[in-house]
Amino acid sequence: MVDGRDESGQDVQIPVITERPLTIFLNNQEIITTMTLGDWVEYLAVGFLCNQNMLMDDDVITGIDVDDDLGVAVVRTERATNYEEKLQKRIQTSGCAQGTMFGDMMEQLDRITLAAEARLDIATMMQLIKNINTTPSLYLEAGAIHGCVLAKGAEILAYVEDVGRHNAVDKIAGWMRIEGVAGADKVFYTTGRLTSEMVIKTAQMQIPILISRSGFTHSGVEMAQKTGLTLIGRARGKRFTMLTGAERITS
């Protein structure tokens, strides 16, 4: 809690979000340091590595070591890894807490095929949004944070938050990988903007439908068109705007 004053000059105490640095290692190699809430650390580390194509589908994870005092997470695999060359191709992404992705992420898009048969009816989507909006969260308590949700129909399977939307989506990716959850029949919801990064990561998780209460970027729409992703933004109340993949949404 932090002391302050409101618009009438009265003393108030408000909750604020605490950011912590987390350095992610893959085996013996330092990959990145990111600012995060400090929760779901194992999922964040694994999800980031999956979304950067550093942790492959057939990689066997032999251990995940977390040191909260040092702010370090080490993911260990049977396969020996070395991404020195790849680490030179960093792209700083838009948005809060400044995410990072690596250039060859986009080279993988042509290999992605999303489930064409996936369907979501509007009534179920509205119920999902209602369920999300009424779920207790740090956002409702303190703001200054992004949330991401993995759902099946109107059922929330995982709800995570972080200071940056890129960390929140990586936590979902890590949760799916560790828990063995497939994405083909799932829906992804984010409070953040629908950028190219969000679209690429959603497609990599094989999730065919992406929803946000926020708006779109041009590159995000282009990526959704390229991957065949259903992209829905400005979803508030009973209103929404759908720019790609309309065939998956039924009345």
d(CA 194, CA 60): 32
Single-letter amino acid code for the residue at 23: T
Quote the pTM value.
0.87
CA distance linking residue 101 with residue 163, whole number of Å: 17
| Cα separation values, 121 from 125, 128, 156, Å | 6, 11, 16
* Regions of the chain with pLDDT less than 50: 92, 94-98
Q: Which domains does the chain have, with CATH numbers?
A: 20-105 (3.10.20.10), 120-250 (3.40.140.10)
pLDDT, residue 32, reads 93
CA distances from 229 to 48, 164, 246, 248 (A): 21, 22, 9, 9
